[in-house]
Each structure stands twice: as structure tokens, then as C-alpha cells.
Chains A and B, each alone.
Chain A
Amino acid sequence: MPASNFPVSRKASFDDSLMPPCQIACPLHMEIGEYVDLIAQGRVMEALQVIRSGNPFPAICAYVCTHPCEDTCRRGQVDHPIAIRALKRFAIEFGGDRMIQEEARTTYSEKVAVVGSGPAGLAAAYYLRKLGYPVTIFEAHSALGGMLRVGIPQYRLPREVLDIEVQRLTQMGVEIRTNTRVVSLDLLFELGYKAVFITVGAHQGLRLGIEGEESPGVVDGATFLREVNLGFQPSVGTSVAAVGGGNVAIDAARTALRLGAKEVKILYRRTRAEMPADPAEIEQALEEGVEICFLVAPIKITRENKRLRVTCIRFELGETDASGRPRPVPIQGSEFDMEFDTLITAIGQAPRIPEDFHLRIGKGSTIQVDPVTLLTNRPGVFAGGDAVTGPATVTQALAAGRQAAQRIDEYLRHKYPLPQKEKPPIAKDLLPKTIEVIRKAHRLEPERLAPQERVQGFRPIELIYDWQSAVDEARRCLRCGMGAEILFQDRCATCLNCLRVCPYHVPYLDENGTIQIPADQCQACGICVAECPAQAIVLRKPRDRRYIDEELHHVFSTAKQSGFRPLIVSFACQYGLFGTGTLSGLWKEAQASISIVPVLCVATVEPEHILRAFEMGAEGVFVAGCGEQCAREDTHFWVRQRVEKVRRALGQMGLEPERIQAFNVRVKEEDPVQRLHQFTEQIGQLYLAAVLAQEVKM
């Protein structure tokens, strides 16, 4: 059957999907929906490709990203956000990230210097190499990574992960100068560099400004963690206090525990609700035995008998301040003393920019840049990362590095800065009526080491999902922005079928009598697509409306080569068991050649598709849904409708209606293996009978 016989009534290439909130929130605008969906299908290597195309060092983010994407995830409006970071980690581990080699070729002669090797510097070097520039990284410390190396504790980011990324940069031909503190930019230009990217971070701990802060035993968080991370094993004694409410305070406290401190307290002058630290990390710190004293801050430190007497005062919350949080107000006369061996101050850091850089410095000692071009006041000198924003996050630094690479390229090539073309966003929240009908499903977290095991050392505490949990977690994604749209308005007969069949009551008639399918509510199930009698509706994402005929052709040309008969075609849910390929185990002994056409949901299989499979030579067709895993209750109803319709047609042609079956995997009472075997046997007999009849005729 020539392909041209099939009416190609749908454009296959356009992508009308909208940008989901997770992607907007991600500083790198990673295609989260895309890779989560691929993981849900068990296509982990492809997921990794998508991840790597949007992030230079995804393995690092998979451990330490603060995941702003999860904070905006609309699944959170239903039950809990998707565990995006943990899923990324899964894709990294199971997709074979360690095997990936990076290459780069030098196409330009202009050398670029990167000052500082934190995530911003590393990302800039990575992308500049990809663009074809010779790049040198200058780093004051003995090893690359910035805060990834000297700040973040190893139990949250194993150093081998960082080492692999650094090694890839070397493979790509990035020149690395460690133990080299840059003191003058003029010197760099004299050395022949044509552009410089400054990413020196924010390492200067802010001072409490209280009496006794200089005493031995008082140290700032960044310095303390740096010493630990560089292997100096500072002794902290048995009781330690960390002052502050951010991640650095938490990291310092937990690190102190691991260094052998018996009693570790965090002193914070507001309450838990205002703590800027990641809630999950606060939780973990508490599990490990860190005690948090809220509404408390030190006002004086005295050193007595090699110990610190810390005078504290209690606070109450007052009116909201500029940061949007309630201002802590000291309570007069509430002073009290506590004793510690070590006090770690972690109330923030600021950049310290060498004066000889001659850069314009702004608020919080940060470098002032043009937000679009990242150019400083000096020609050819760009800056980004914590040095520009003040203490921020790894992903923000990576995004700055990527932006810098692009801007430096434009600068060196005398190109006009290109505006980024972006998809329109999905901005609206889910409506209560939509939320109500979405099936609830709990967030699955990867396992962690038990607290008592964790504090024994610096082993990474988070484990990786097993395959099934990752697939199940990824399947919770609501596929925001990938929904249905009426592509062929001229065909729409306003029959209202979409409005009637939508399980989420999304389509509606507007005041002009035109049907609307609001993209911000649609769950991209595809049922209306399959039920539209005018075939006017499509899903916005090209992969979801993958032309099933094309897939069928592929299946049949492969089957033809193998020549094994009878041929059975399965339209199978692309998620869950079938999607992950484990189903192949089910039919190892099947006496037939079974080909799978993966579909978004079995409720999207149209009667025409099934007929076409028969037309192309299938002896039997089965539709395999994922059963209890399905996001919707009524999938089976729709499958029944389509199957019955085809059965009627088969019957009219004198073909046995049993040639088409529908069943589910992962249903408690049903055994898919048995069903499948019965079915193949049945088809085998029908096939044999037909062959015999043919021979008799001849």
C-alpha cells in the first residue's frame, strides 16, 4: 500500500505549544515538560539529550539546584509539584551521562579570558568553546568550581560529579590556570585576550557587627565551608552555633555535625516561615539533630576559658519590611547567655572586587552591568553570576554564563544583539473545577540515607529513583501548554462534541457561539482530538500528534523484513509498562510477530488507525492501556467505543470481530500476559485457517 494513499490531513511539523510555568521559572528555561514526558515514557536517553541541550552541567544541577521550577509547577495546585530535580538526577544516572563526550573546535582567533571558575565561569567557558573561541579560565583557588568546590558540602554534591564536568571542559580544549588570582584586567588585555568575563562570585562573609566578633572561634560560613572543602578539617569542638536562616547556615550547621560536634544550634532572628533556606533542607537538618532557635540573635561575644559566651536577645515579629518579610524587633530585657566552642556567622556574603579592575560597583558591592549585554563600564569586559547579582543560585549563574558567551560572541563578531524568540507563556492558574476532576497522585520522593547514617560522614544523602518510581513520578506531569487547539477553524462545525467529551470540562462556547479550548486548562489528553468529527482539533506538540500512520508504516516495513507471521499490531499507551519496553518480556514466547505503536493515550487511538493496521496486513490488533496508572477514569469507555465501531465494520466485511481486543496492563485482577497469549493463540489459529482455505482454493 503506497503511503500516498493515506490522506495527510495534518501538518506534522509545527509546534504550537506554550511555555509552561516550570520552564519560565527555570533561569535556563530548560525544556522540563519535554524531558519529564520522555522519562514517563521510559525514554531516558532521549530525556538526557533534551536535558543536556538546555544545561551545560546538568549533573550538578541534578544534585543542588534550588528548583524554582517545582515552586511554580501547576501540579502543586492539585496535590504536590513534580519532583523535577530528582527526575533529572534519574535521567543523568540511567541515561548514561558519564559516557557523554564533549567536543569543540577552534574557529576564531580571538582569545577570551574567564576570571573565576564558579558555575557562571564554567558555563561561559563551555559555550564559548562550543562557539569556537579559545578560552582560558583563571581561578584563584587550587581547583575549579567556585562555590561548587569550596561552598556546597560534599554530602549534597559529590566532587566526582564536578570533576567529570571539569574534565569535559579540558577535553573541549579550555585552558585552565588554577592558583592564579587575577589582579589587573589591563594585564589580561596585554596578554592578548580580546574579551574578559568576570565571575568572581560573592565570597566575603557579611559581619554581624557586634562586640567580640573577632574572637578566635568565630568564623564566617563561607570561610568555614571553604576550609572544610579544601580538606583543612577545622576543629569545631563539641558545641557549635550557626547564625542565619539561609542555606549557608544550614550547610554550616550540618557540616559541623559531620565534623563531630555533639550539639549544633542555628540562631535565627525570625521564624521558620521566613527562613530563606530550602524547606526540605531545613527538614533534613532537623532530622540530623540540628536545633533551630527562632527569634534569637547574638548581640555580644566574649571569650572565656577557650569557650565563647554568646549573649543573645529575643525578638518578636513586627511590620513587613522592604524584603516583604516581617521585621524582627528586639524585646528589651530579654538578653540571655549561651556557651559554644565555635560560632559560625552565615548572614550573607558580598563580592569583593579588586580595585585595580576599575569596574563600576553598585549596591551590595556588586559589579554594575547592562542587564541585556552584561557589559561593564569597560569595553570588552563582561560580568555575571554572584558578583553581579549578589549571592544567588547555581542555575542563575549558569544562565548568566550562557548569556555572557552569547553576548561576547556578538561583541567579538560585531553582531547586533539578537532578541530571543520565545513561546507565549501559560500564565493562568488551574480553575477549581479543573483541579477537581484531575486524578490525585502522590509525589514520589527518592529515598535518602537514614539521619544517623548521614552524619557519619560526607556521603551523598539522596539516593536515586528506581525505574518504576521515576516513570510513575514523571507521569504525574500535567503537560501544561501541550494541549488541544482547533487548528482547522474552517472545518469546525461547532458540533460541541469536544465540549461534551472532555473529561476536564475545558472547551466552552464563547458569547459569539464559537468554541474555545483554553490552553491553560487543557490537560492534553487528546480525547477531543479523536472525537472531533471534523478532524479539526490537534495537540499542540508535534510529538503528541505524531502521525500514527507514519508509525504504522515504520512498523510494517520492519515486520515485512522479518517476514514472521501472523502479524499483530498493538496500539499501546506510551507510558508505564509498555512504554518502558518491559512488555517485550511478556511475549517472549509469543507465536506471532507483535509490533507496538506507542500512543499518547489509548483513548487517542481512532477507529481509522485500527482499520489501517488491518489494511496494511495485521491479522490482529490489540489496544493496551496502562490501566490503574491512567490519569483519567474514562479511558476504557472511549477505547470500547472505537473498538466496537471497528468490530462492526470488520463483521460487515466477513472478518472475525475477535481480531481486535482491548486490555490493560497493571490492573490487579487481570493478567496481561495470559490475555496476550490467549489472543496471539487465537489470531494464530485464524491465520492458519485462512492459509489453509487459500491452499484449498488453489
Chain B
Amino acid sequence: MIVAEQKPLEEIQRMIAPYEKVLILGCGTCMTVCGAGGEREVSFLHSALRLAQARTGSNTHQFSEYTVKRQCDPEFMALIADRAREVDAILSLGCGIGVQVAAEHFPDTPVLPGVNTSFMGTITELGVWDERCAACGDCRLAETAGICPITRCTKGILNGPCAGTKNGKCEANKDIDCAWILIYERLERLGQLEKMRRYYPPRNFRTIPRPRRLVNLVKADMEEGNG
């Protein structure tokens, strides 16, 4: 799941400063689950912005709020077309994808990000989220016992551990488990320690063509179809 956190209030206030009518747009999927931009956060931010405005004695903004099921699909954006038309800007509490889908869908409306999209990860305990995947496009988890060194090793090294590992912790941050020790322990448990002894050549991240695209549909071939 995509994990994000809401931006500080000051930053949001600065972003929306030029706009009178602002729609706070929540997302009912990842942003709800990670507590950054679901129904509850939308209404909390709404209250906070109104209160902040009331405190300064100004009356510049008019806020409205709405939460769609998912901001990363244009069809959901179609559902809020009327609401969007009435405002000067949309403050999206969707992840970076949601912000962009909204921007594409409403070409004439500024869309502002209300959250900092942080990473892809999981909940490890109530209220704690940890990164798990870097979306590198070339998954090697089979060799590393299901533990991703790219995201979980501070240095992202493919042939670890480095000399800095100490008592199972990372030298860069003693609160973080050394990913390569975790990998070692799990390989040992699985009886696959030989995987530790292999050398994995470095990967060339520059070869990843950005933006990436996936096509998962056979395009109808006119010639063949007609022939």
C-alpha cells in the first residue's frame, strides 16, 4: 500500500493562499488506510483550516470537502465534476498519483497536494508504517528470502552485509535492523544459505525508462482481424 503523511498546516495554507474556494478531496483507499487523507482526515483538515482562518480574522477561503473511493482512477474524478467546477482549486489528499489524475481530469483547475507521498509499505504495529518496496521493476526477492535489500538496507547494497553491521543493527541507524542479517537468518531457516554465497552483479537503475508504462492488453491488429 502507498503510505503518506499530511503536509504541515502552514505549507497547506501557503499553497491555497491564492484561491478563494477550495475543495478538500479525500481518497478512500490507501490514504484512508494510512490515516493521511480519508474521510476523517479530510474533516479534521477542514476544521483546522477554518479555525486557522477564523483566528487570523480573515475570511478569504471557502472550503468544501468530499472523499472519493479512489483518486487514481479517472472514473472517480468524473463523479466530482460538478463540485470541481465550483471551486478555484482542489486540495487533494490523495497520493501523488491521485493529485495527477485529478490534474489531468480537471485541466482548468489547479490541484494541490495535501500529503507527502512517502513510500510503499505495511503497518508493522498500530500507527507505525514501514517501507517495503521500491518498485524497482526487477524483483529479486526470490534470492533474498523475501526481504528486499533495496528498500530495507540503508545502503541498498545487493551483496551484503557490509562491514558496518553490528549486533544485527545497521551502522547508519542503530534502531534499524540490518536487512542483510535478516536475509541471512531467514535463508538459514529456509536451508538456502548457498544463496548468500553468490555474487549479484550491480544493477543499472539508469536503464529504467521513465515514465514507466505497462500494457496488459493485446491491441487488436486491424490487418490480422480483417484477414
User: Do the two shown chains form a genuine complex with each other?
Assistant: yes
Q: A495-B32, A533-B40, A534-B32 are in contact. Are A611 and B51 (CB under 8 A)?
A: yes
Q: A493-B29, A533-B32 are in contact. Are A611 and B47 (CB under 8 A)?
A: yes
B40 close to A615 (CB less than 8 A)? no
Q: Is A252 an interface residue (CB 8 A)?
A: no
| Interface set, chain B 111-126, CB cutoff 8 A to A | 126
| Interface set, chain A 477-508, CB cutoff 8 A to B | 490-491, 493, 495, 500-501
Q: A501-B126, A532-B40 are in contact. Are A612 and B47 (CB under 8 A)?
A: yes
Query: Of A82-90, A351-359, A573-581, A651-659, which binds chain B?
Result: A651-659
Bound together, the chains give a CA A615 to CA B54 distance in angstroms of 7
B39 close to A9 (CB less than 8 A)? yes
Q: Is B221 an interface residue (CB 8 A)?
A: no
Closest to B46 in A: A7
Partner of A654 from B40, B47, B55 at Cβ < 8 Å:
B55
| Interface set, chain A 1-39, CB cutoff 8 A to B | 1, 5, 7, 9
- CB contacts (< 8 Å) of B29 on chain A: these are 493
A493 close to B51 (CB less than 8 A)? no
Please give the distance in Å from A553's CB to the nearest CB on chain B.
14
Q: Is B200 an interface residue (CB 8 A)?
A: no
Q: A534-B28, A608-B43 are in contact. Are A495 and B55 (CB under 8 A)?
A: no
B16-59: CB near A (< 8 Å → 1, else 0) gives 00000000000011001101001111011011101110110000
- CB contacts (< 8 Å) of B225 on chain A: these are none
Partner of B48 from A1, A536, A649 at Cβ < 8 Å:
A649
B55 close to A533 (CB less than 8 A)? no
Closest to A9 in B: B39
Partner of B126 from A491, A500, A614, A652 at Cβ < 8 Å:
A500
B126 close to A493 (CB less than 8 A)? no
Q: A534-B38, A534-B40 are in contact. Are A653 and B51 (CB under 8 A)?
A: yes
- CB contacts (< 8 Å) of B8 on chain A: these are 652
B33 close to A608 (CB less than 8 A)? no
B39 close to A614 (CB less than 8 A)? no
Partner of B44 from A490, A501, A608, A614 at Cβ < 8 Å:
A608
B39 close to A653 (CB less than 8 A)? no
Q: Is A607 an interface residue (CB 8 A)?
A: yes
Q: How many residues of A contact B (CB 8 A)?
A: 28
A491 close to B51 (CB less than 8 A)? no
Closest to A488 in B: B39
Q: A501-B126, A652-B10, A653-B52 are in contact. Are A535 and B47 (CB under 8 A)?
A: no
Partner of B35 from A1, A533, A615 at Cβ < 8 Å:
A533
- CB contacts (< 8 Å) of A655 on chain B: these are 55
Residue among B39, B41, B47, B55 with most chain A CB within 10 A? B47
A535 close to B51 (CB less than 8 A)? no
| Interface set, chain B 79-124, CB cutoff 8 A to A | none
- CB contacts (< 8 Å) of B65 on chain A: these are 7
Closest to B30 in A: A493
- CB contacts (< 8 Å) of B55 on chain A: these are 653-655
Bound together, the chains give a CA A606 to CA B44 distance in angstroms of 9
The range of chain B's interface size is 20 to 34
Partner of A611 from B35, B41, B44 at Cβ < 8 Å:
B44
Q: Is B139 an interface residue (CB 8 A)?
A: no
Please give the distance in Å from B112's CB to the nearest CB on chain A.
17
B38 close to A652 (CB less than 8 A)? no
- CB contacts (< 8 Å) of B172 on chain A: these are none
- CB contacts (< 8 Å) of B33 on chain A: these are 493, 495, 533
Bound together, the chains give a CA A608 to CA B44 distance in angstroms of 5
Please give the distance in Å from B14's CB to the nearest CB on chain A.
12
Closest to A690 in B: B55
| Interface set, chain A 614-632, CB cutoff 8 A to B | 614-615
B54 close to A491 (CB less than 8 A)? no
- CB contacts (< 8 Å) of A532 on chain B: these are 40
Q: Is B9 an interface residue (CB 8 A)?
A: yes
Closest to A494 in B: B33
Bound together, the chains give a CA A655 to CA B53 distance in angstroms of 12
A535 close to B43 (CB less than 8 A)? yes
Bound together, the chains give a CA A99 to CA B9 distance in angstroms of 57
A491 close to B28 (CB less than 8 A)? yes
Partner of B47 from A9, A490, A608 at Cβ < 8 Å:
A608
Closest to A614 in B: B51
- CB contacts (< 8 Å) of B67 on chain A: these are 491, 534
Please give the distance in Å from A593's CB to the nearest CB on chain B.
19
B40 close to A608 (CB less than 8 A)? yes
A506-546: CB near B (< 8 Å → 1, else 0) gives 00000000000000000000000000111110000000000
Please give the distance in Å from B31's CB to the nearest CB on chain A.
9
- CB contacts (< 8 Å) of A493 on chain B: these are 28-29, 32-33, 38
Please give the distance in Å from A529's CB to the nearest CB on chain B.
11
Closest to A655 in B: B55
B44 close to A533 (CB less than 8 A)? no
- CB contacts (< 8 Å) of B46 on chain A: these are 7
Please give the distance in Å from A488's CB to the nearest CB on chain B.
9
Bound together, the chains give a CA A535 to CA B43 distance in angstroms of 10
| Interface set, chain A 532-587, CB cutoff 8 A to B | 532-536
Please give the distance in Å from A659's CB to the nearest CB on chain B.
12
Bound together, the chains give a CA A491 to CA B38 distance in angstroms of 9
Bound together, the chains give a CA A491 to CA B69 distance in angstroms of 7
- CB contacts (< 8 Å) of A491 on chain B: these are 28, 39, 67
Closest to A641 in B: B127
Please give the distance in Å from A658's CB to the nearest CB on chain B.
16
- CB contacts (< 8 Å) of A652 on chain B: these are 8-10, 48, 52
Please give the distance in Å from A501's CB to the nearest CB on chain B.
7
Closest to A530 in B: B40
- CB contacts (< 8 Å) of A606 on chain B: these are 40
- CB contacts (< 8 Å) of A611 on chain B: these are 44, 47-48, 51
Closest to A649 in B: B48
Please give the distance in Å from A53's CB to the nearest CB on chain B.
37
- CB contacts (< 8 Å) of A533 on chain B: these are 32-33, 35, 38-41
B39 close to A649 (CB less than 8 A)? no
A615 close to B9 (CB less than 8 A)? no
- CB contacts (< 8 Å) of A654 on chain B: these are 55
B39 close to A535 (CB less than 8 A)? yes
| Interface set, chain A 639-682, CB cutoff 8 A to B | 645, 649, 652-655
Bound together, the chains give a CA A536 to CA B67 distance in angstroms of 12
- What are 14 A-B residue pairs whose CB atoms fall within 8 Å in the complex? A1-B54, A7-B46, A491-B28, A493-B28, A533-B32, A533-B35, A534-B40, A535-B39, A607-B44, A611-B51, A649-B9, A653-B9, A653-B48, A655-B55
Nearest 6 pairs of A and B residues by beta carbon = A652-B9, A533-B38, A495-B33, A611-B47, A535-B39, A493-B32
Q: Which residues of A pack against B, CB within 8 Å? A: 1, 5, 7, 9, 490-491, 493, 495, 500-501, 532-536, 606-608, 611-612, 614-615, 645, 649, 652-655
9 more A-B residue pairs beyond the given contacts A535-B40, A536-B39, with a C-beta to C-beta distance below 8 A: A491-B67, A493-B28, A533-B32, A533-B40, A534-B67, A611-B47, A611-B51, A615-B47, A655-B55
